[in-house]
Structure 1
């Protein structure tokens, strides 16, 4: 990981240097071009003024041959008789030379003038009016323009590598400082083992992305620790629950092996069968919860369909084998969209729980509310549930008292399954006191599929 971080620093530094180098090179080219253009325009303006001055002298009556065309600048002047092409007058640096240009009016060009140092000149040509016609040719060298451009280029060539080196160093340091908390987080996470889920990564005080990453990582570790604790409790509770029926079966078999009494053997076989059924139900509940805890893949709602919940209730009541009376007078029509198998499990678990703790009566009701819900209520005339235990009763492997013990047939998972299945169906479940029978009332509320 350290090598990757170093590679990231290098890539960031190189990327910054390349981008700045390209940008500065383009900017330098544009700058030199603009400098040359600006200076050339200034020269063109000066040449036009110079031509106008000479033409003004000629218009005032000064013969072209007597014009004073000397000045202090490094330029030249020629006045040419257009009729014969002869140079009438010229500056000292052009004395005895042929005309520079053949003609043209208002023409400004950059050209080489042989015999002058430097030879690169900017030349402006103007034709006078009237007769005879004269061509006034004024030129000035571009040495200053070339010198400024060369100086600028030299400065860029010297300064750009220094600037790029500075950018590379600054980028390296900034990226290194930015990634230092990431390395600390990575190092801490790498050191966290299966038994160290209580440890947390350091959280930077800054509110930037690194800080949010650290907080997200710690939140994930919180969830992992909670899941690990829950898994440990689950395994411990499941082992404890399975140990009892296995011990009972073993004891009964050992007794049977030492006895030849047919009636005793039949009694032992019945008890072994009961414990085996209890263990089977417990394993089924454990498998259901394990599948739910590890559920991944597509949304399970895809296969849901509307069902008549009243039909499910009547079907489950018909399967009851008990001396307890089950009243269904309060069951009316109700339809929900659900996984039918899971909802059947909810109804069966609530009914089994009520039958297990009722003295003689269980009532089931199903009603629809005006706000678009279907409410399933199961009442019993048993001991009821204390207010402090009405939320805890839906936790896994929870038994509240002796009346709700393992001997009563419960595994402590039925109501936990009810709570989780109902929540998956966007519903709610709660425990309270039955207003009619005085025992416990369990109420499950589902969205009405008809709304």
Structure 2
């Protein structure tokens, strides 16, 4: 259980990062939105508008007093108003005041408008400061001009509550203070849950792949269905498992075939040695040495071929970008084959051609192709070499039985023989064309097998002029 918990931590980490990223991004967006909303709320309900309305009311009351109306009657007339009203004499004494300012000292300030905090008892039986409510008012003044016919020099003070605009801003602020954390928590939990739900098929695939070993590469992960990224991951993973299964099967077949090929020369050497030991004089020293040397050379060629193929599989074939005169290699192989006297070699169509690559490996390609053609030819092997803007084309034809069209692709596979008996008698291991294909591919070229005009096999090698 502890091991499973450790293995599950990466998914929890992914879920945590996803939830954290979602919350962080949303928090930035919400904070910016809340700031803009608060700014809009303050602009929509500005305190300056309240001050202007209070000033307008003060001007109106001053005009009424200047027209001769008494202060007490005027204040009584506006008794139902929520405004604070205080009327001061020219000497600064309170002449009349609204109920909320009754008995209060004259309100005096050097700067108007004035922010006034009015404290009211919320409980008649309690007189502690903790049981008092505070209300914020903006106070303005208006002095009746000295040349007025009535109440000259009298000052009218009007206070209007700023509770409505401030309340709107406070409501918006409280809403954001409560709503933003709530939204972030909900989004975080939802993202955590959704991420876990999305990762569930991946976790199931991980567990299935974890149970697949080298002995069970034929197993496949369950496809979740659909065409999303998870389904693509399952398809890709199954394709990878199929390739691994195929590669392992090919490797096992390769080892089996290699072991079988090595067994033949070893068995021949052992047989000759046993005959020489059991029946002294049955095989002369020269004959025993000749037979042993032939089988040893056969085994050496096989080991060298296996080494080349192994390096090719590991992509360790060293291809230096050095110029190689391919026509010289072709003519050298033609001379070697003519010296054997087994077949006629035609080289009339060999022209100058140069590529970049490994001279040794390209020589191996020519040696394998020429030997293969000589083994299957009745009388003639034809070599041709041409060069154009796209690269170099090497063609090796023989006048033998040819290769059936159905076998032209697989003949380049390893240990494939179309004529088992003749291939073994002639020392062939079924690796020659496989080596040719791998070396040519390492040089950026390709091998195409077809039919020669004489009815035999035609092997064409295409190599780029530059690597």
After TM superposition, the score normalised by the length of structure 2 is: 0.81
Does the CA contact (< 8 Å) of 2:397 and 2:459 recur in 1? yes
Alignment map for 1:177-196 (pairs within 5 Å): 177-196=197-216
Determine helix, strand or coil for the equivalent of 1:355.
helix
Alignment map for 1:115-154 (pairs within 5 Å): 118-127=133-142, 130-131=145-146, 136-143=156-163
Q: Distance in 1 between matches of 2:174 and 2:274?
A: 103
Q: What's the CA shift string for 1:273-305, capped at 9, x where partnerless?
A: 111111111111111111111227xx966x323
**2:393 alignment partner, one of 375, 386, 393:** 375
Q: Distance in 2 between matches of 1:317 and 1:210?
A: 58
Instruction: Work out whether 1:102 is the aligned partner of 2:109.
Output: yes
Query: What residue number does 1:62 align with?
Result: 67
Determine helix, strand or coil for the equivalent of 1:192.
coil
CA drift of 1:388 comes to 2.3
CA drift of 1:161 comes to 6.5
Does the CA contact (< 8 Å) of 1:362 and 1:379 recur in 2? yes
Determine helix, strand or coil for the equivalent of 1:364.
strand
Query: What residue number does 1:265 align with?
Result: 285
Does the CA contact (< 8 Å) of 2:51 and 2:140 recur in 1? no
Query: What residue number does 2:437 align with?
Result: 419
Q: Distance in 2 between matches of 1:156 and 1:185?
A: 43
**1:75 alignment partner, one of 83, 92, 98:** 83
Aligned length: 440
Q: What's the CA shift string for 1:218-238, capped at 9, x where partnerless?
A: 111111011111111111111
Q: 1:77 to 1:198 in 2, by over 3 A?
A: same
Determine helix, strand or coil for the equivalent of 1:431.
strand
CA drift of 1:21 comes to 6.6
CA drift of 1:172 comes to 3.6
Instruction: Work out whether 1:93 is the aligned partner of 2:83.
Output: no
Does the CA contact (< 8 Å) of 1:13 and 1:169 recur in 2? yes
Higher mean C-alpha deviation, range 142-151 or range 72-81: 142-151
Does the CA contact (< 8 Å) of 2:58 and 2:157 recur in 1? no
CA drift of 1:156 comes to 6.2
CA drift of 1:258 comes to 2.5
Gap regions ≥5 residues in structure 1: none
Does the CA contact (< 8 Å) of 1:310 and 1:331 recur in 2? yes
Alignment map for 1:49-448 (pairs within 5 Å): 49-59=53-63, 61-63=66-68, 65-66=70-71, 68-69=74-75, 70-79=78-87, 84-85=91-92, 87=94, 89-104=96-111, 107-113=112-118, 118-127=133-142, 130-131=145-146, 136-143=156-163, 163=183, 166-261=186-281, 264-295=284-315, 303-320=320-337, 321-323=339-341, 324-369=343-388, 371-401=389-419, 404-435=422-453, 437-448=454-465
Q: Distance in 1 between matches of 2:173 and 2:84?
A: 29
CA drift of 1:64 comes to 7.3
Higher mean C-alpha deviation, range 246-255 or range 144-153: 144-153
Q: CA RMSD in A?
A: 3.5
Q: What's the CA shift string for 1:339-361, capped at 9, x where partnerless?
A: 33322211111111122222332
Does the CA contact (< 8 Å) of 1:64 and 1:89 recur in 2? no
Gap regions ≥5 residues in structure 2: 1-6, 122-131, 148-152
Q: Distance in 2 between matches of 1:164 and 1:427?
A: 60
Determine helix, strand or coil for the equivalent of 1:125.
strand
Does the CA contact (< 8 Å) of 1:108 and 1:123 recur in 2? yes
Does the CA contact (< 8 Å) of 1:44 and 1:124 recur in 2? no
Instruction: Work out whether 1:45 is the aligned partner of 2:49.
Output: yes
